[in-house]
Amino acid sequence: GIAGHTNVSFQNNILLANDAFQCLRYDASTVTFAAHNYNSYINRLSDFSWVVGFNGGTTYNKADIPTWESNSITSEPLLVSEGVPYQATNFQLQFTSPAKNAGVALSPTFTDKAGVIRPQDGAWDIGAYEFLQTMSAPAHLTIFLGIP
């Protein structure tokens, strides 16, 4: 959880829970947010208590997230893989991820965890990695040369 911090900017994050606990828990008596939006929340076991502001804060269920953060996502982020062994590249976005191009521009221009400059496709992605579409060589390439 978050406690004892003021003017917290909390944007472009993926918060994923695989248990009955919250995606985000913060102490409302000691935390103030300067900005919070453009995040991806998913709890695979429950639709309740996704964000909990204890000590006087509000609890937000899955259906309530849009009232707390109007530009945040509450569907699967579609990461490359979450399986063991954990590797940095596992947490990159798939091509069809709803987090792709769904983030907010932060200043100054940043690079992602892999050093890729943001944004790549006109808008920032949510998460630690900016989606980078790469072109691969064809599996078989045949070249015909004309003989004069």
Residues in the chain: 148
Instruction: Please give the Cα distance from 25 to 27 (Å, whole number).
Output: 7
| Stated pTM of the model | 0.83
pLDDT, residue 144, reads 63
pLDDT, residue 107, reads 82
Per the listing, tokens 């003989």 go with: 147
pLDDT, residue 127, reads 94
pLDDT, residue 3, reads 86
Which of the four pLDDT bands, split at 50, 70 and 90, describes residue 135?
very low
Which of the four pLDDT bands, split at 50, 70 and 90, describes residue 108?
confident
Averaged pLDDT for residues 38-61:
91
Averaged pLDDT for residues 108-137:
85
